[in-house]
Amino acid sequence: MNKSEKINFIIKVLEDFYPKIEIPLDHKDPYTLLIAVLLSAQSTDKGVNKITPLLFSKADNPYDMIKLSVEEIRNIIRPVGLSPMKSKGIYGLSKILIEKYEGKVPKSFKDLESLPAVGHKTASVVMSQAFGVPSFPVDTHIHRLMYRWGLSNGKSVKKTEQDAKRLFPKELWNKIHIQIILYARSFSPARAWNIRNDIIMMKIGRKSILKKMI
């Protein structure tokens, strides 16, 4: 199949698998989503979702967050890893949100990426899922599958994002990036995958279909 056919096939498979999606990280508003995404760096969504109830019970807004010390935040989030950097980032960005944005999460990539510990991927998730701005956050799962599917050369996350935005319809970006992540976790892990047989596996009802990506 040519690249256009491949894209259409991928879209169909993902829609069959995941017609309705939910953001994997538990949150209730843009601020708690921002914090959860920041915590997810080099961690799992499951691990983050175990930690955030305790953190958000103490501080689910920037005003309450800065009442905690960096050390207190660090002790709560320690299980998700990188706690020294993340705790400083959470405290620092909360302080800036109060000082510059009246306690609200800004709705622009530039402003989000200027916050401590907030990179382009984190900003993209918040812009996409909190504000509905078409974005294509690229994590390790998307980076891996775009390469395996022959849709990007795998040289950099930035290049993968550019290719994803060029190939997939803009109106699908906010949904399909989550669909790809869900698919990758279930059917295309980083390990135990045979690179000689690039296959998309679909399970629809009781049927199992193996389709080669040529």
Contact 145, 183 (CB under 8 A): yes
Secondary structure letter of residue 151 according to DSSP:
S
Class of domain 3-21+137-212: mainly alpha
Provide the token pair at 74: 């660090």
**What's the rounded Cα separation, in Å, for the pair 69 and 73?**
6
121 annotated active-site: yes
Class of domain 30-129: mainly alpha
Pairing mode, strands 207-212 and 199-204: antiparallel
Q: Quick one: what percent of the chain has pLDDT higher than 90?
A: 75
Res 36 pLDDT > 60: yes
Res 195 pLDDT > 70: no
Contact 82, 8 (CB under 8 A): no
Secondary structure letter of residue 172 according to DSSP:
G
Least confident window among 4-8, 117-121, 175-179: 4-8
Q: Quick one: what percent of the chain has pLDDT higher than 70?
A: 89
- Average pLDDT taken over every residue of the chain: 89
Q: Exactly one of 95, 139, 158, 165 is catalytic; which is it?
A: 139
**What's the rounded Cα separation, in Å, for the pair 122 and 139?**
10
Res 139 pLDDT > 70: yes
Q: Exactly one of 6, 16, 110, 121 is catalytic; which is it?
A: 121
Q: CA dist 66 to 5, 70, 169, Å?
A: 51, 8, 41
Which helix H or strand E contains 199, and what residues bound it?
strand 199-204
Res 98 pLDDT > 50: yes
Of 65 and 154, which is predicted with more confidence?
A: 65
Q: In the structure, what pLDDT confidence band is assigned to residue 188 with cuts at 50, 70 and 90? A: confident
In the chain, domain spans: 3-21+137-212, 30-129
The pLDDT score that the predictor gives to residue 191 is 67
In CATH terms, are 3-21+137-212 and 30-129 the same topology?
A: no
Secondary structure letter of residue 150 according to DSSP:
T
The pLDDT score that the predictor gives to residue 42 is 87
